[in-house]
Amino acid sequence: MKLGKSVGMQYFLIYLMYIIPGSCLFAKFLQGQAKFLLLLMLYGWLFVQFKQFRSGYALRFVALFTVSVLFTRFYTNGGAGISSLFQFLVCVLSTQMAIYCDKEKFLTRWVKFVTVMAAISVVFWAVFYFKPDLVSAYPGTVYKTQDLGSAGYEVEYHGRGLLIYSYLEIHPTRNCGVFTEPGVHQVVLNMTLFILLFWQERLDFKDNKQYRLCVLGVLLGLVTCQSTTGYIGTILILAMFFVTGDSEKKYKGIKQFVVVAVALGMVVLLADYAARNDKSILYTQFIYKLFGADGGGLDVSEGTGQYRTGTMMVCLDIMVNQPFGVGYDIFNVMKNAYADGLVAASFLQFPAVFGVLPWLLLMSLIFLPVLTRLKPGIALLYIFLFVNTTLAQTDLMYPGFFMIPMYLVGVPDASENDLEKTASRNEEEFKTE
């Protein structure tokens, strides 16, 4: 029995992959485990009924997560629950199902989908940024996001919109897309930029203009996100792109276009900084967070950096003294004992909770396909992007990251050497105009 390479089905699965995890729809509106159970039932049905959706690579993650959660639960007497397992599995299986629906078309459809969502988010961001009074006219669902402030004096913040754009009162001037914060939005945008710049040969566009519009849309989304982690990732992706493939003529036009786009972006950021100084995007999201209020040297103690650093210290202490993990209950107690408000650092939080060995196995499953099938510089860039983001976020498994090794394993000719053999297929379309 075959499902066939359904365009509608793949875009539906891509949308599910896109919103997991970190979307407002999942985090703030759909509560409890029912959402994960429904998705797992859907994926289980696809896996059983249609051979095209089956992947031994994904099953290794399923086995690893299941054993890790069960061991931790019994070893720590309840320090991990079924919700943790469900979230891990849904992230992996959402990526697998979206790719395996139609492997040949996945990358192109993913890029087009993310570009459209990025363009929508930029338009909404611009409207609400310059005309904030129009937010009340936005017909999206209204929901509570969080309370901030001392007990008895809390200020309640809300969000509006779930499916195509979410306006968040806690981030009124930042482009969060459909996500709970800009740091999650930048994951899908930066990894789409990664695909656009390094896997051009795998994309099927009508012409060079369409390709450039996708690059521009993603870059605009990244600039308006105002995520420090995202900016660092974008700078490194662009830097790697400009130092690789210098001898390839087909990249010259693209590089010239990217140079112009980046230059215009820098002009806007510098003009904003000159006009608004310490309230500008450049200062609040880059200078202040990396160098502190006086800009006198590298300083991550300002902003959210101090809370992430504290979480890292707790995790490292547990990894050294409790290498089998302590579970979430003890981990949260240790965080609260160290300092208030510690967040993020999921890259180190996983071994602290579930143990060092499962963490090493997990990293091996993710990084080995990348290290063995991509050029060394690009592989190391991917690893840095993964570590940089997961040290700054509370989730470890993001489909935006996981789709790279999953695609490399699932598509036989996805390695760099094989891509070079097929590069001539699109070369005429991407010549310098």
Q: What share of the chain in percent tops pLDDT 70?
A: 84
Tokens of 276: 């608004």
- Burial (Cβ within 10 Å: 0-12, 13-18, ≥19) of residue 240: buried
First to last CA, the chain: 46
At 186-217, the pLDDT tens digits run 999 999 999 999 998 899 988 888 999 999 99
Is residue 109 within 8 Å of 14, Cβ to Cβ?
A: yes
Between the alpha carbon of residue 244 and those of residues 74, 106, 199, 215, 237, the distances in Å are 49, 25, 13, 18, 11
Helix (H) or strand (E) holding 104: helix 103-130
**Greater confidence, 14 or 259?**
14
1 inside domain: no
Query: In 129-219, where do the E strands start and end?
Result: 142-148, 155-160, 167-168
373 inside domain: yes
When pLDDT is cut at 50, 70 and 90, the band that residue 287 belongs to is low
292: left (phi over 0), alpha (psi -120 to 50) or beta: left
pLDDT for res 280: 67
pLDDT for 425 beyond 70: no
Grouping H, G, I as helix, E, B as strand and the rest as coil, residue 166 is: coil
pLDDT for 305 beyond 80: no
Domain that holds residue 377: 7-430
Distance CA 379, CA 57 (A): 19
339 inside domain: yes
Is residue 16 within 8 Å of 98, Cβ to Cβ?
A: yes
pLDDT for 415 beyond 70: no
Tokens of 156: 């309640």
27 inside domain: yes
Q: What is the mean pLDDT of residues 222-243?
A: 91
2 inside domain: no
At 313-340, the pLDDT tens digits run 999 999 999 999 999 999 999 999 988 8
Q: Tell me the one-letter amino acid at 412.
A: P
pLDDT for 416 beyond 70: no
- Render 9-70 in DSSP notation, one character per residue: HHHHHHHHHHHTTTBHIIIIIS-SSHHHHHHHHHHHHHHHH-GGG--HHHHHHHHHHHHHHH
Compute the half-sphere exposure of residue 143: CA atoms within 13 Å on the CB side of its CA: 16
Q: Furthest-apart CA pair in the chain: how many Å?
A: 66
Structure letter (DSSP) for residue 286: I
Q: What is the mean pLDDT of residues 378-382?
A: 96
pLDDT for res 249: 52
The pTM of the whole model exceeds 0.85: yes
When pLDDT is cut at 50, 70 and 90, the band that residue 359 belongs to is very high
80 inside domain: yes
At 244-284, the pLDDT tens digits run 755 455 555 677 777 777 777 777 777 776 776 776 666 66
119 inside domain: yes
Per the DSSP assignment, residues forming a β-bridge with 155 are 148
Q: How many domains, in total, are found in the chain? A: 1
At 96-155, the pLDDT tens digits run 999 999 999 999 999 999 999 999 999 999 999 989 999 999 998 999 888 887 667 788
Secondary structure of the chain: what % helix, strand, coil (to 5)? 70, 5, 25
Tokens of 29: 């509106």
Tokens of 367: 């990084």
pLDDT for 423 beyond 50: no
